[in-house]
Structure 1
Amino acid sequence: MPKRRAETVATSPEAVASRLAASRYLADESLATAIFLAIRLGKPLLLEGAPGVGKTEAAKAIAELLRRDLVRLQCYEGIDAAHALYEWNYQRQLLAIRHAGEHEVDIYDDRFLIARPLLQVLKAPEKRVLLVDEIDRSDHEFEALLLEFLSDFQISIPERGTIRAKAQPIVILTSNRTRELAEALRRRCVYHWITYPDAGREAEIIMLRA
């Protein structure tokens, strides 16, 4: 079972750090503990820090150690539900209506639904890790849009109802702290601040990567 795989990996912070090192990512004790808690508690992981400290690389390494595909949602100013959740393929819907003639056609069938990153992960949580990258670049309205997903791992589609994940998805959010995130979003996550490595740690990273 996918959940068992995650639990097997996250037996302790030390086990997480060891497996991340095998994926060529060095995590200190505090980061390994945050990852361990996020997996064991079934909560999203929020990583904050200056650009270049390894937040996105941490997400890639987590996906690798869990043997899941990484689905990346890159945030930007003006991002909306159509880019993050889903949208309908209106051209295919119109074609289906024309071809159906007098017969009825369900234009809200799965074949007309374009799954964006959040819906992709909900449909196959045991195979994917969701990375919401640079959440601080989006606006407060988009943060509010994410709350249902981060709380209950579900999304509501007016034409289809509520779609829930059948297993616990792994979700990682990153922020460069260009602005403060809403408290409602922070409360739903395990939080960790990543700092720049000291000289010794940086030398270890270089030797591991070189």
Structure 2
Amino acid sequence: MTQTSPSAGAPGAAPAALPASIDETVSLLARGDYVADRSLSTALYLALKLGRPLFLEGEAGVGKTEIAKVLAKALGRDLIRLQCYEGLDVGSAVYEWNYLRQMVEIRVAEAAGGADRETLASDIFQDRFLIRRPLLQALEPHAGGAPVLLIDELDRTDEPFEAYLLEVLSDFQVTIPELGTVKAEKPPIVIVTSNRTREIHDALKRRCFYYWVDYPNALRELDILKVKAPGAPEALSRQVVGFVQELRKLDLFKQPGVAETIDWTHALVQLDQLSLDPETVNNTLGVLLKYQDDIARIQGSEANRILTQIKSELAAHGAV
């Protein structure tokens, strides 16, 4: 599905200046409640400073999409999102002609009897009949400054569409045969994400700065929970992080991402849990894990083993 989300910033607010340093980039993300390590902030700062798309690759749920959302909100820019899927084409991603309006125009002209075919053909391929999709919207002027263009989950598309993006990402322009080339006066801030279900071609990667968004270590994941689930007891948050970190060491079909860690913590808070116990873990694994085979593997003795291990480790460090 193709989505657009205009007006990410506050209505009427002036757009914020781009960060002038890595430290300012860290602060900008922090204002949007995004806990980023310095290497990610460095990649984002350079992409903003040099006007290059940033290609973020990593497992689902590690926070790639959130970066674009936070960036748009913090900078007061419109967020334009192209959600990729198999079969995505130019008509859904860039533009298409409003065929219904064109047909009405033809019928009206024929009824009036005053237009020849050549003039009519020219008239119906004008700007007013053009339906703008996300990529074309992103290249047009915006009152709040150049928008943030999120091309989300590019790996879900087909290679022909990936090839089409080369012109967009290198020259920030698209070609409409009937109208000519549309080039951005101010290039959008482009964030491209991929869950790496397939390899993206080198030609596209060369047009971007690249960053692999990995799972956070325990300390950073705990910091994330302090921001995203501030109502959770600290002891519970530490146990949640410890449990999730141990799960990621196992050969699961789908390891839990940061999004699942946050969801699980919120769910446990709703259940008034102050600490993890085997029954609660078994009853709520569906919040954390998304495949029945993974749940069946962890439920019961394995969950109890992990829980006993992390409580013992936390107790040894005086954290419980």
TM over 0.5: same fold? yes
d(CA) in 2 for partners of 1:151, 1:174: 17
Q: Give distance in 2, aligned partners of 1:9 and 1:145.
A: 29
**Could you say which residue in structure 1 is the equivalent of 2:214?**
195
Q: Which residue pairs with 2:273 in the alignment?
A: none
| Aligned residue among 137, 161, 169 for 2:156 | 137
Aligned to 2:202: 183
RMSD between superposed Cα atoms in Å: 1.3
Partner Cα distance (2:152, 2:36) in 1: 19
* Separation (CA, whole Å) in 2 of partners of 1:187 and 1:49: 18
| Structural mapping, 1:1-210, within 5 Å | 8-100=17-109, 101=112, 102-103=114-115, 104-105=119-120, 106-124=123-141, 126-210=145-229
Runs of at least 5 residues in structure 2 that lack an aligned partner in the other structure: 1-14, 230-320
Q: Distance in 2 between matches of 1:193 and 1:156?
A: 31
The ranges of structure 1 where at least 4 consecutive aligned residues each deviate by more than 6 angstroms after the TM superposition are none
Considering Cα pairs closer than 8 Å and 6+ residues apart, tell me whether 1 or 2 has the greater RCO: 1
Gap regions ≥5 residues in structure 1: none
Structure number with the higher strand fraction is 1
C-alpha contact 2:55 2:192 (8 A) present in aligned 1: yes
Output the CA distance in 2 between the equivalents of 1:128 and 1:96.
33
Separation in structure 2 between the aligned mates of residue 127 and residue 48 of structure 1, nearest angstrom: 24
Displacement of 1:127 in angstroms is 4.5
Partner of 2:33, secondary structure, is: coil
Measure, in 2, the Cα distance between the counterparts of 1:33 and 1:88: 41
Query: Structure 2: how far apart are the matches of 1:148 and 1:184?
Result: 11
For residues 65 and 192 of structure 1, the distance between their equivalents in structure 2, rounded to whole angstroms, comes to 21
CA contact (8 A) 2:174 2:181 kept: yes
Q: Distance in 2 between matches of 1:114 and 1:185?
A: 26
Per-residue CA deviations over 1:149-184 (Å, capped at 9, x if unaligned) read: 000000000000000001121111000011111000
Q: Residues of 2 paired with 1:86 and 1:170: CA distance?
A: 20
Equivalent position amino acid for 2:135 in 1: L
TM-score by length of structure 2 reads 0.62
Deviation at 1:75, TM superposition (A): 0.6
Question: Which structure has the larger Rg?
Answer: 2
CA displacement at 1:38 relative to structure 2: 0.7
Distance 1:124 1:63 in 2: 16
